[in-house]
Every structure is written in structure tokens, then in C-alpha cells.
Amino acid sequence: DGGITQSPKYLFRKEGQNVTLSCEQNLNHDAMYWYRQDPGQGLRLIYYSQIVNDFQKGDIAEGYSVSREKKESFPLTVTSAQKNPTAFYLCASSITGANTGELFFGEGSRLTVL
């Protein structure tokens, strides 16, 4: 099953710890995205990357960091600076150069801070 793979599906973290969520894609897409999904708030963009070695902050980047060293991979680190990290995180990818609006999503990772 190709597409977007996120891991782990479930993650528990103690307060004050950093945690990294993995996102890998085999669609040969240039662009990748991280969204946060909270009940009643929809999806909010955290970071996005249009090309390798480049990424941009989204609407709620504070307390998060990313890297894009490889086309296939776009890991998200939730740092201890993120005030309310418990959430469902979705990774997505798309073709660049064409504003089709079609994002391909992973199955998500649920992070719970204890």
C-alpha cells in the first residue's frame, strides 16, 4: 500500500519531553505538509515544505520544528515549548507547480501528553 505513512499511530509523552513524528511518502511528491486536528477546530497548518531543504511556517508553528533532508521524509518534532501538544497530527503531500488542491493524507498520529 503506497502513499503516505505516518508513525507511530499512538504516542504518549511526559510533559517536558520532545517527540518526533515520522512521515514518509513514496508518491514522488515535492510538497509535504503537517496539520494538527483538534475536535471542533478542524485542521490547522503547522509547517509545509515545497522542496527538499526548504520549509515554511504555517498558522500554528510555535512549539514545533521540522526538517526536509530527503524528498520522501518530513518529520515533525513537537517540542516541550508547545503548550498544548495533545492532538491528532496529519501529514500530507501534493504535487507542486499545480494548484490542484489535492492533498494526499496519511492515517495520522495521535499524541497524548501525560
Partner 1 sequence: AQRVTQPEKLLSVFKGAPVELKCNYSYSGSPELFWYVQYSRQRLQLLLRHISRESIKGFTADLNKGETSFHLKKPFAQEEDSAMYYCALITGANNLFFGTGTRLTVIP
Q: Which residues contribute to the site for partner 1 (CB under 8 A)?
A: 4, 31, 33, 35, 40-45, 48, 50, 58-59, 90, 94-96, 98-107
Our CB check for partner 1 shows the closer of 3 and 80 to be 3
Alpha-carbon distance values, 46 to 1, 2, 19, 64, 112 (Å): 26, 24, 15, 8, 18
C-alpha cell at 32: 509535504
Least Å from the CB of residue 74 to partner 1:
14
Least Å from the CB of residue 50 to partner 1:
6
Our CB check for partner 1 shows the closer of 21 and 90 to be 90
CA separation for the pair 88, 12 (Å, rounded) = 12
Our CB check for partner 1 shows the closer of 17 and 53 to be 53
Least Å from the CB of residue 24 to partner 1:
15
CA separation for the pair 53, 68 (Å, rounded) = 5
Give the length of the chain: 114
